Amino acid sequence: MKAIVLALACAAGSALLAGCSHIPANPKDDSKFQYLLDRTTEWTENKVDTLPPLPSPQDLIEFDVSNNTPLHFAIDGKSLSVGSDGVVRYTVVITSSTGAHNVNYEGIRCDTYEWRLYAGLNADHDGWDRTVANDWTRIENGNLNAYRASLYQDYFCENKMPTGSTKMILDNLRAHRTALSKIK
C-alpha cells in the first residue's frame, strides 16, 4: 500500500514540476512590475486661497515642546484643519518670556514629515504676510524649539497619516493627550 501511495505522490509531484517548467508561448512582460510599497503616487496639495482670521487669545491651546525652552507655544483652535490632502493646517503662536510673539499659519504633511509656512503676521500686526511663505521643508527634531516635531509626533500624525479628524486632534490638544500618553 505504501508503494502505491509513494508512486502516486511521485507522479503528482512530477506532473506539478512539469507544469512549472512549461514556459508559455507568449510570456507577459513583467519588466513593469512594481511592488506596492515602491509605487509613487501623484500627490496634489489642496489650494490655500483664504487664510484664517488672526487668532484670539481665548482660542489658543497651549502645548509642551521642551522643558529647556523659555518659549510658550499655542495653537489657534479655530484655525486647525485636516485637509483631504493629508496636511494638517494651523496657526501657531510662539511667545517669549518678555511677551514678544510670532504668529504663523503653517501646514504639516504627515506622509513625508515636512512642514510649510503659508503666511506670517505682518509688520503692523493686523494681518497676514504671504511673502514669507516657503516650500515643503523637512521637520527638524534636534532643535530645542522644534515645535513642529512635537506637533507631528504628539498630536497631528500617526503612521504617516493625520491622527484623526480636526475635532479629535483638538480634543487631544485640549486634554494634553499626546501619542505617548495614550499608550500608557
Looking at residues 4-23, what average pLDDT do you find?
52
pLDDT in tens, 27-56: 565 566 666 566 667 889 999 999 999 999
Distance CA 122, CA 30 (A): 56
Say which residue, 137 or 7, is predicted with more confidence: 137
The percentage of the chain sitting over the pLDDT mark of 90, rounded to a whole number, equals 65
Q: Is 73 helix (H, G, I), strand (E, B) or coil?
A: strand
Pairing of strands 72-76, 60-63: antiparallel
Q: How far is CA 89 from CA 47, 51, 114, in A?
A: 12, 10, 12
What does the pLDDT read at residue 66? 85
The domain locations on the chain are: 57-182
pLDDT in tens, 103-134: 999 999 999 999 999 999 999 999 999 999 99
Distance CA 118, CA 48 (A): 8
Task: Locate 142 and state its grid cell.
Answer: 534636534
pLDDT in tens, 169-184: 999 999 998 877 655 4
